[in-house]
Chain A
Amino acid sequence: MRPLPDARPAVAHEFKSARPGGRTVCVVHPGALAPRVYRGLAEALPEDDGLTVLDLGAVPEYAEAALTGGRAATTVEALSERLLAALRPAHRVHTLAGWSFGGVLALAMVHAMPAERRPERLVLLDSIAPVDGYKQPDEALDPALLLDWFAMYLGAKRQRDIEVTRDTLSGRGTDDGLVAVLDAAVAAGALPADTPLPGLRKLYDTYVDGLLRNNRLTAPHRPEPAPLPLLLVKAERSLVPGDATLGWPSLAAHGLTVRGCPGDHYTMLSRPDSLDVIVPLLTAS
């Protein structure tokens, strides 16, 4: 990789411009997957509608925290201001959406917007609400849970279904569990057979630092209820599969609608059958 100053991409990726009369969908993306994961969404939107992705991975104080131990010297509020500044004033956003931690940022952006710039809808893509009861201290993040999410993430990156479940990982420590993930990833063709365990450990540690960064940013954040209706799209294999609303009811003063979509937390962004569900929800009048 080149040194940071040359490598830093723009925060706002305009995948597709809205034509006159079309609407703009804006998605807040918290990294983990490359922004190109939204190409399929851009292609699936109605012809006249546009898509802009706001990539937190391009915000240095956020992105570098995943590489330096998971502590970001910023706040949800400061990040939301940074994202709003990246939106061109001419961009009248019809729908603001946020995937995963991006949903927390999207809500903060709505609060920070002048009322006349607010979108018509806020769509939360498998996002966990920043409310007590859904905030976890770092030590509460069980290795089996993290390893299950990591396998899901790795499978999405490699476009392979890595067959390892939370049940099979339960009770194993990180080292032992990573061996199971490595075996399953190799069996699925997601990693070469000679992938060394210390290499996978480095990838896992960086992934977990990214989660911890988001967890720590969320912990002190106390949002007010949303000033507009909320729509939650929950993946079939969500980060929290047994929870119907992911904690959003207490922030939904103007109503909460929940819809399910195929795929897991990561593949929901690119699977055609998932986009068949998501696109109409993003573009409804």
Chain B
Amino acid sequence: MTAVTAVTAQQAEEWLIEKIAHRLGVPTGEVSREVYFDELDLDSTEALILAGEMENWLGFELSTTTLWYHPTIKDLASYIAEESAQRAAAA
């Protein structure tokens, strides 16, 4: 997908929760939007694979350090929405 239409924070949250729940093998309801990524049972390999999949979905690249500076699903989704809106406006 090319993000000509901006991704909202809610869409980003839903996407992240679905992917993380799938990787962990748990229902989506068990993944909190407030949880720190390093508290999830994802290793660095899985985190980078998830980041690459997310970039492909968004249609733009995220710095690998993005997860450090936006360390929860809620924070990251908010950042993605801002970044996506800026890119959509500039397109």
The chain A residues found within 8 Å of chain B, CB to CB, are 1-4, 7, 34, 64, 67-68, 154, 157-158, 191-192, 195-196, 198-203, 206
Residues of A contacting B: mostly: helix
The closest CB in chain A to the CB of B67 belongs to: A1
- Whether A199 contacts B53 by the Cβ 8 Å rule is yes
Whether the Cβ atoms of B52 and A202 lie closer than 8 Å is yes
Q: Which chain A residues lie closer than 8 Å to B44 at the CB level?
A: 34
Given A7-B38, A67-B63, A199 and B52 touching (CB < 8 A)? yes
B47 within 8 A of A: yes
Residues of B within 8 A of A (CB): 23, 36-38, 43-45, 47-53, 55-56, 63-65, 67-69, 71
Query: Once the chains bind, are A3 and B71 in contact (CB under 8 Å)?
Result: yes
* Choice from B23, B51, B53, B69 contacting A3 with Cβ under 8 Å: B69
State whether A2 touches B51 (Cβ < 8 A).
Answer: no
> Nearest A residue to B75 by beta-carbon distance?
A3
Given contacts A1-B36, A2-B36, contact A196 B49 (CB under 8 A): yes
* A/B interface sample: 24 pairs, CB < 8 A: A1-B37, A2-B36, A2-B37, A2-B38, A3-B68, A3-B71, A7-B38, A7-B68, A64-B65, A67-B63, A191-B49, A196-B49, A196-B53, A198-B53, A198-B55, A199-B49, A199-B50, A199-B52, A199-B56, A202-B48, A202-B53, A203-B49, A203-B52, A206-B64
By Cβ-Cβ distance, the 10 closest A-B pairs, closest first, are A202-B52, A199-B49, A198-B56, A67-B64, A199-B52, A199-B53, A203-B48, A1-B38, A198-B52, A196-B53
* Given A3-B71, A68-B64, A68-B65, A206-B53 contact (CB < 8 Å): no
The majority secondary structure among interface residues of chain B is helix
Contacting pair B65 A157 (CB below 8 A): no
Residues of A near B37 (CB, < 8 A) are 1-2
Contact of A206 among B43, B48, B69 (CB under 8 A): B48
**Number of residue pairs across A and B with beta carbons under 8 Å?**
66
B19 to chain A, nearest CB (A): 10
CB neighbours (8 Å) of A68 from chain B are 63-65
What residues of chain A lie closer than 8 Å to B36, measured between beta carbons? 1-2
Q: How far is the CB of B25 from chain A (nearest CB, A)?
A: 10
Residues on the A chain within 8 Å of B52, using CB: 196, 198-203
Residue of B nearest to A34 (CB): B44
Knowing that A1-B71, A199-B48 touch, tell me 10 more A-B residue pairs with CB under 8 angstroms. A1-B38, A4-B69, A34-B44, A67-B63, A196-B49, A198-B53, A199-B53, A200-B52, A202-B49, A202-B51
The contact of A200 among B43, B47, B49, by CB within 8 Å, is: B49
Measured CA separation A206–B51 after assembly (Å)? 11
User: Least Cβ distance of B74 to chain A in Å?
Assistant: 14
Closest to A4 in B: B68
A74 to B45, CA, bound (A): 26
CB neighbours of A157 from chain B (8 A): 43, 45
